[in-house]
Structure 1
Amino acid sequence: MTPSHGPGTGPASRWSDLERPPLNAPALRRALLRPGSLWTSVDLVPGTGSTNTDLAARAASLAEGAVLVAEEQTAGRGRLGRTWTAPARSGLFFSVLLKPDVPARRLAWLPLLTGVAVATGLARAAGVDTALKWPNDLLVTVGGEERKAGGILAERAGDDGVVVGVGVNVTLRADELPVPAAGSLALADAVCTDRDPLLRAVLRSLEEWYGRWTAASGDPDASGLQAAYAAGCATLGRAVRAELPGDRTLTGRAAAIDGEGRLVVALPEGGREAVGAGDIVHLRPAD
C-alpha cells in the first residue's frame, strides 16, 4: 500500500521504500487497546538494538500486556547468543511483557505457546502454513525446502515478569536473506505481507492462547496447548541431532513433547531422553 501523503521521499525518509511502508501505530492501538484486552500499551520505535532488552529494562514500571515494536533491530537476539538482523520494515520485530500467575515449572511452555500463537495468527492473516521447530523456530516452505522465517526468545524480567520477543521475516527477498537456510513470508507465497494486519492477527492469537493457558493455571494439557503444539511441530517424528550444553550430542527420533515442554528423543539403542535445552538439527535420511 503506497501512502497518499507524508514526509518527503529522500534517502533519510521513512517513506523511502514504498514497498515497505511503516507500521501505523495509532491504528494498532485502536485495534488492540480495548477494555478487557490483555494488551495495555503499544509503543512503536523506528529502531533499537533489541526490543527484549529495552522492554526488560522498563518491566518494573509497566503493566502486564505492554508491547514494544521496532521497525528495525540492530542487535536482535536469538537463543544461544545468536544475532537476528533484517532490513528496516522488512518484518515483525516486537516484544511483550507477560506476568503469568502459573507454577514456575510451567513457564517453560511460554515460548512454545508463543510459537503456536504466531503460527496460528500468520495462517489466518498471511495464508502461510507455518510449522514449529522445537523449541522456538518458525518454519515456512520455500521452493519445497524447509526454511526458518522467525524465532522466539523468552527471558525473565524482574520477580514476576517474562519478556517474550518475536521476530518474523515478512518481505525479505532472496538476496537479503542472512543465511541460505532462512526464508520469509513473501518467499513462501503469502497472500498478505501488509505488516499491520499481520501484527494484529499475531497479537490477538497470542492473547487468546495466553488466556486459555493462564485460565488453566499453565496446564498444557487442560488448555489444549500441548496437543496444539504437537500438531504443528515439524520436529516430531523426525530424525534429529540434539547439540546439548557441555559439548554433548544426542541423536535419535523426536518422539514427543512432555508435560514440561521438553523434547523426548527415542534413542537408537533403546530408551528415551528428555531434552530441555539445546540446539536441534533436523536430519535428512542420508544424514
Structure 2
Amino acid sequence: MTPSDASGGASTGASAGRWSSLDRPPLNAVALQRALVVPGGLWTSVEVVDSTGSTNSDLAARAAELPEGAVLVAEQQTAGRGRLDRSWVAPARSGMFFSVLLKPGPDVPQERWGWLTLLAGVATATGLSRAAGVDTALKWPNDLLVTVDGDERKTGGILAERVGDGVVVGIGINATLTEDELPVPTAGSLMLAKATVTDRDPLLRSVLRSLEQWYERWRAAGGDPAASGLQETYAAGCATLGRHVRAELPGGRILTGTAEAVDTDGRLVVRTADEAHEAVGAGDVIHLRSIH
C-alpha cells in the first residue's frame, strides 16, 4: 500500500476458502452491522465486499440512492485512489479500506465541507489510539503517521470527494503489512508500529464510532471548526506544524517555509524566509525537519 492517500459478495467469515492467512481473517459483516447500525445513530448500513476497484468510486456512484451513513468496506481494493491520483494497493485483508457517505445538509455551509478531510483524520487518529494503543499523528492534510523504529511512516490516508448533496470520505489504513510487503520505505503499518491490537474488527468499530462522534459535534456547531473544537484538536495532533516544509503547489510552484498554523478554512499557513505568510489550500507537503 502507498498511504498517500477505500459487487462482490458480503464477507461474513463463513467461507473457509478465504482464509488464505490465519493472521488475516475476514471481517464479519453481520457483526459489524449489528454493532454499528443502531437507532438514532449516524450509520445506516455497513456492507462488506470481497474485492472492488475503489470503495470511493462505488459509493459515489450510488450516493443519490443511499441515505446518509452508508458504509462500504472492501477486503481488498484493486484500484484504490489517494490524493493527486496516487494508487493504493495492498494484500487482501491487510488493512481497512472503507468509505462513508455523509450529507451535512443545509445546517452546514458548503464552504465548510472541506473540513471533512481533516475531521476524518482527527477521528481516525483518535479511534486508532484508543483501540490499537498506538500513537497516530496527522500530516496535513490527509495522511496518518506512526513511528516505526524511530522513523515517521505513513500508515494511512483519507480522500474526500463531493457527490451531489453529500461527500464520500474514503479511509485506508495499513494494519498488518510486513516490511517485505511495503511498497516504499516511508510506508508503515500498525503492526510495525507495535500496536497492541491489529484485529481489524475492533479497529474499524472504534474508527467509525469516533468518526460519528466528531461528525455530529461538528455538524451541531454548524460546521464551525473552532466552536466544535475540531480546529484546536487537529492542530494539537498535526505533526506538520512547527516543521520546515516544502509545498509542491498546483501549477508546479514550490513554496518552502515553516508550517505555523491551520486556518479557519483548513488551509496550512506557511511562513516563508522573508516573513510572509501564505495559506496553502492544495498541494503536496513534504516534511523537511523540525524547528527547535
**TM norm structure 1:** 0.95
Aligned partners of 2:130 and 2:14: how far apart in 1? 31
Which of 52, 55, 65 matches 1:51? 55
3-state DSSP of counterpart to 2:59: helix
Corresponding residue for residue 244 of structure 1: 249
The structure showing larger relative contact order (alpha-carbon pairs under 8 Å, at least 6 residues apart) is 2
Q: Distance in 2 between matches of 1:120 and 1:18?
A: 28
Given that 1:85 and 1:178 are in contact with CA atoms closer than 8 Å, whether structure 2 keeps it comes out as no
Separation of aligned partners in 1, 2:149 and 2:91: 22
**Amino acid in the other structure paired with 1:97:** L
Which sections of structure 2, spanning at least 5 residues, go unmatched?
A: 1-12
Q: Is it true that 1:71 corresponds to 2:75 in the alignment?
A: yes
Task: Say if 2:182 is the partner of 1:214.
Answer: no
Pair 1:235 & 2:240 matched: yes
Q: 1:170-249 alignment to 2 at 5 Å?
A: 170-249=175-254
Match of 2:113 in 1: 107
SS in 2 for 1:283: strand
Q: For the residues of structure 2 that align with 1:44 and 1:187, how far apart are their CA atoms?
A: 26
Q: Check the 8 A contact 1:98/1:162 in 2, yes or no.
A: yes
**In structure 2, how many angstroms separate the alpha carbons of the residues matched to 1:80 and 1:285?**
25
- Contact 2:242 2:290 (8 Å CA) reproduced: no
Query: 2:61 matched to 1:89?
Result: no
* Unaligned 5+ runs, structure 1: none
Residues 218/285 of structure 1: CA separation in 2 closer, same or farther (3 Å cut): closer
Identical aligned residues as a percent:
73
Partner of residue 24, structure 1 = 28
1:262 aligns with 2:267: yes
Cα deviation for residue 7 of structure 1 reads: 4.3
Query: Structure 1 stretches (4+) deviating beyond 3 angstroms?
Result: 5-8
CA displacement 1:196-222 (0-9 Å, x = unmatched): 000000000000000000000000000
Residue 284 of structure 1: CA displacement? 2.7
